[in-house]
């Protein structure tokens, strides 16, 4: 007998942030803006409530934490993940493989436009595995990604 009960997907969105994003507002504000990670969290919390969603925002300077959180997103049936992998964007096969290995949709997010910066930033291993990428709009990039994730 097959269970035809529809699976309930969480209305939580993970917002995962990689290395150095704890320094937002201080580190190179001419590139990343003046908003802190707390400012972004508050902005996302407000918009998420309007959309009937919840935000679980996390930051780590350690690649393995991000991989573990991607696995957790699938295990908990999280609706979607917004991932700003910072410098790991361009180097992490582990994050690429973790994204490919989970069914949870992942949206890559960047404050700046990597394609308008140094050549080494033009390749995104994260973006090659993600559902889509939103970049170049400062803190608004996170809100735009949240709007997209709300439609999954």
List active site positions: 32, 110
Distances from the Cα of 119 to the Cα of 33, 96, 116, 124, 136, angstroms: 21, 20, 9, 11, 16
Helix (H, G, I), strand (E, B) or coil at 36: coil
Q: Which residue, among 127, 117, 109, 130, has the nearest Cα to 16 in the 3D structure?
A: 109
12-33 burial code (b ≥16 CB/10 A, e <16): bbbbbbbbebbebeeeeeeebb
């Amino acid at each position: 007998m097959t269970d035809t009960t529809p699976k309930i997907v969480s209305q939580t969105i993970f917002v995962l942030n990689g290395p150095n994003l704890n320094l937002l507002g201080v580190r190179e504000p001419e590139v990343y803006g003046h908003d802190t990670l707390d400012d972004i969290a508050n902005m996302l919390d407000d918009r998420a409530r309007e959309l009937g969603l919840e935000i679980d925002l996390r930051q780590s300077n350690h690649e393995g934490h991000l991989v573990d959180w991607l696995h957790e997103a699938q295990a908990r049936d999280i609706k979607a993940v917004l991932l700003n992998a910072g410098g790991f964007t361009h180097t992490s096969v582990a994050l690429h493989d973790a994204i490919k290995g989970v069914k949870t949709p992942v949206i890559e997010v960047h404050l700046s436009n990597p394609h308008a910066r140094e050549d080494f930033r033009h390749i995104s291993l994260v973006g090659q595995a993600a559902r889509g990428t939103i970049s170049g709009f400062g803190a608004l990039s996170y809100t735009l990604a949240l709007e997209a994730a709300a439609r999954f």
